[in-house]
Structure formats: structure tokens, C-alpha cells
Copies of this chain bind each other. A is one copy, B any other.
Amino acid sequence: MPDTAHSPRPRYGTRPTMKDVATRAGVGLKTVSRVVNGEPGVTAETERRVREAISALGFRRNDSARVLRKGRTSSVGLVLEDLADPFYAPLNRAVEEVARDHGALLINGSSAEDPERERELALALCARRVDGLVVIPAGADHRYLEPEMAAGVATVFVDRPAGLISADTVLSDHAGGAREGVAHLVAHGHRRIGFIGDQPRIHTATERLRGYRAAMDAAALPVHDGWISLGPTAPDRVRGEVLRMLSGPAPVTALFTGNNRVTATAVRVLSELPRRVALVGFDDLELADLLSPAVTVIAQDPARLGHTAAELLFQRLDGYASETRRIELPTRLIARGSGELPPAEG
């Protein structure tokens, strides 16, 4: 039977195996394995023959087989909300770097903020037997991961907490950051401050709202229902809410926006209005310092979130077996101008 000549698309089975290399080099299978893995106990001459066979045949070890036998895949999974969201890009890279330092590859995917898709993806990664999993949860119930964690899949949640299970978690101080941002507006004389955030089923949205309320409470300021709006971050909705909060008899004089997408839309809407409205946004934006006014933000450190989560993960893989840890990273107020505007008359 000829080699691969009339196979329309050679794949996989057509590749040379260690056995082929062994045959060609006239040695045993195990000797090839030793050379490929750099194990000792092979004479220079034997090694030379094996290497010659390897390059002549174009052999590359099949890690699928290796993984099956060894029991570790040297890969970690990352489930995030959207691979295209610039906020998660540095987190993604940070997890990759830590994985790389530990010789592991990264398999990742987007939940698209859909709990069912999160679940499918996470379980698909478990079926691939990733050694560990970093999850930015979309759902609120992660009991489906319990059997996997019990079976040894190290799991760390980032950015949002796990639902209904106990697991290592790395979060920003969402409530504290929002509180600081709103207090900053209060300190600049604002008494009517609007909050526009993401959907209430998203933990970060309600935490940041909690911070907003705490700051208003601490300043003994009332909060009207119309000043709070949680919902999709689609530009149309956010635009409508900004305009609504700025109209009527007692319009807000400042806005606190609950994440980067909301902030971007709010900045856009405000730039079209004659009135100057103060703004502090949660999450930093590229070029925020170049807008006029430059945008004051509560910044998270997404790379540090990812790095910290991945470190916790590999500590587990390296045998750390104590109780679940929860790490809260501080946020940082970056005053640039928009948050320091005084209240408009009215």
C-alpha cells in the first residue's frame, strides 16, 4: 500500500509515530521515547540514529497520547464574557503568561453573558481534562462544577464570585470603588447623582450600586428611584437613560456610570449637550485622558486580576490544599477633570 499518495487530505493517522521512528532507527520504542523526552541513558550513537529518523520522517510527538497516559494535560481553561472586550484582553494575556511560565497552554472562550453557554464551555473544557479552570462567571449557580472540582479540576473565579459553591475567588473591590467615586462627586458639591449600570443579575452591577447607595447614605443624601438605572449596556438604552436623568424638574448634576461600555456611551451623549455634567466612570478607558473634559474613573487592574487568579490556580495544582481563598484587589480613583466639574446651576 503506498504511503499517502492518494489520500485526499492526509490527517493525523498518516503521521509517523514513535513506532515508525523506532523501526527506521532500528531501536526499540522506549529508546525513541527517551530521546524525544531528553531522558538519560542513550548512547550518543543511538541518539544520532534516532534523531536522523525523526527528522527524515518529520515526526512530532502526539501530545494527545502522552496526555492520556500521563494524566495531566498541561493546559488550563479560561471562560470569560467576551474575548473581544478590551477590558478582558489584559486579563486574558495575564492568565496566558502565568500558564506559559508553568508550561501550560490556554484554551479560552466567551460565555457571551449566557449562563448556559458558560456551563457548556466550562464542561467542554473539563471533558478535555484541562488541569484547571479560570472562570469569569455569567451564571449564578455553579453547582454543576462541583463534581469536576471534586475530581481534581482546580478552579478559580475572577471578577465575579461563584454561585452556590465555595471556590477560590479574586475580585476587585467593586462596592468600595463605586463608593469612592460617588463620594468624590459629593465632595465636589453634587447632591443629585445618577447611577447607570449593567443588568441587576450581574454581580458587579449590584455591588457597584451598593457602593453608590453607601456613599449617598454617608452624605445623608436622598436617592430618587429615577436616578438609578440597571439594564443592558446597549448604547440606545444608556443614551435614553442619560437624557431622562438630565430632564425634568430636578435633573441630576452628575453621573456615575457602572462600566466601560456605559461610560463610553455617556461621554458620547454628554459631548453633544451644551450643559456640563460631571461624570465618574467605573473602569478605565483608552484615551480617557485626552477627552475634554478628561474622564475621571475608578480603575481596576485587569492584568493583576488575571495574574492573581492564575497564580492561585497553579498553587492548587502544585498541591496547595487549604481552605478556599478570596482575594479582593483595590481600585484606584483617577481624577482627570470630568469628576471635578461643579454642579450646573438649576
Contacts and interface: CB of A to CB of B under 8 A. Distances in A.
Interface in A281-314: 285-292, 303
B147 A60 contact: yes
Contacts of A72: 11-12
Given A106-B107, A268-B290, A287-B287, 13 more contacts: A10-B151, A11-B152, A12-B72, A14-B151, A15-B151, A58-B151, A62-B127, A75-B107, A82-B93, A84-B93, A86-B286, A106-B109, A268-B289
Interface stretch (A118-126, A156-164, A208-216, A229-237): A118-126
Q: How many identical subunits does the complex contain?
A: 2
Contacts of A290: 267-268, 271, 291
B68 A68 contact: yes
A71 interface: yes
Interface of A: 8-15, 58, 60-65, 67-68, 71-73, 75, 82-86, 88-90, 92-94, 96, 100, 105-110, 123-129, 131, 147-148, 150-152, 264, 267-268, 271, 285-292, 303, 316, 319, 321
A60 B285 contact: no
Contacts of A123: 60
25 contacts: A9-B152, A10-B150, A12-B71, A13-B71, A58-B147, A60-B126, A60-B127, A60-B151, A63-B128, A63-B129, A64-B68, A64-B128, A65-B68, A68-B68, A83-B89, A83-B92, A84-B89, A84-B94, A93-B110, A105-B107, A105-B124, A106-B107, A264-B286, A285-B286, A287-B288
